[in-house]
Structure 1
Amino acid sequence: MATTKWSLDPTHSEVQFKVKHLMITTVTGYFQTFSVEAETEGDDFDNTASVVFTADVNSINTNNEQRDTHLKSPDFFDTANHGEIRFVGNRYEKTSGDSAKLHGDLTIKGNTHPVTLDVELGGIVVDPYGQTKAGFTVTGKISRKEFGLTWSAVTEAGSVVVSDEIRLHAEIQLVKQG
């Protein structure tokens, strides 16, 4: 079967992360510039050969300029030396119905670790312009400290300022190429 290439439809996709602040509220951030490329056998995502996701860390937006500047600093992402986040998916494992696990390697700040993401296929349709599109919801959790994002502070009462666990959420729409 022929290989099918898929590329991101950026106007119908978003990538966000959520982290606990002071362990009492959740702060949401987005990457405004990112890409996804995938290869499948035919149009069948159950036979996904590869998925490559990249995000420009300089495009981070938490709706707070001071916090965004801190996140770009060496305390966190160190964008001067590590401006890209990269995930290379190497195994798509269908679990049930439209649900799957995407296994791969995530690189943040020069640290690469295996990660498994939950994927829900929303469907594959042909849009009014004749383009075949596939939609996905992707979720997961990572330890920020495992990837070298170790900045930490504690309040006077002993509460952690920023949690270690980062929740990932993406709405991805891909367009079939060629």
Structure 2
Amino acid sequence: MVNNTNWSIDNVHSEIAFKVKHMMISTVTGHFEDFEATAKTDGDNFNNVIINFSAKTASINTKNKDRDAHLKSDDFFNSEKFPEMKFVSKSFDGEHLIGDLTIRDVTKEITLDADFNGIAVDPYGQTKAGFEITGQLNRKDFNLTWSEVTEAGSIVVSDKVKLVVDVQFIKQA
């Protein structure tokens, strides 16, 4: 594959979100506000696209300043020491996006479900491509190990984290 067409993420039309159980009775949703991604394809063919993604861990937003501060601390992301999380794809077969995810100082291969929603030209003449990507990971696999148990025995934060990623790429001239 040549991979000679470059695409960059359209941040205005993209969201990098996650969901995690809180006390095993409710779900907290958060997202990263500062992220970048590029894609390399063979023309407009996204089979085996090469995607490079990074997000600033300090840009985490769960709509609660105290919780966000805790997530930025060494109990979780340690944003000061590990300012970015990264994903580099290895393969895409039209349904599964496989790549290496790095959080903190740990890199692991993950497989994500990926729906390629196609390509369209917007009213300004820009060619765009859209994906809906979902998956899950165990946060403890990436040294996000903080854990507490309530008096009633409920786990405060689940180990399982669901990823919900909606991205739109813009074809570069």
TM-score by length of 2: 0.97
How far apart are 1:2 and its partner, in Å? 6.3
Which consecutive residues of structure 2, in runs of 5 or more, have no partner in the other structure?
none
Q: Deviations over 1:125-170 (max 9, x none)?
A: 0111111000110101000000000000001111100000000001
- How far 1:36 moved relative to its partner? 1.1
Q: Superposition RMSD on alpha carbons, in Å?
A: 0.9
Paired residue for 1:143?
138
- Structure 1 residues not aligned, in runs of 5+: 95-99
**Which residues in structure 2 correspond to 1:1-178 (within 5 Å)?**
3-48=4-49, 50-94=50-94, 100-178=95-173
CA distance in 2, matches of 1:27, 1:6: 32
How many equivalent residue pairs?
Answer: 172
Looking at structure 1, the residues matched to 11 and 93 of structure 2 have their Cα atoms a distance apart, in angstroms, of 25
> Match of 1:39, SS?
strand
TM-score, scaled relative to structure 1 = 0.94
SS at match of 1:145: helix
2:60–2:68 contact (8 Å) kept in structure 1: yes
SS in 1 for 2:93: strand
The residue type paired with residue 9 of structure 2 is: L
Q: Whole-Å Cα distance in 1 between the matches of residues 114 and 72 of structure 2? A: 28
Q: Using the alignment, how far apart are the partners of 1:137 and 1:2 within structure 2?
A: 21
Instruction: Tell me, in whole angstroms, the C-alpha distance in 2 between the residues paired with 1:32 and 1:18.
Output: 15
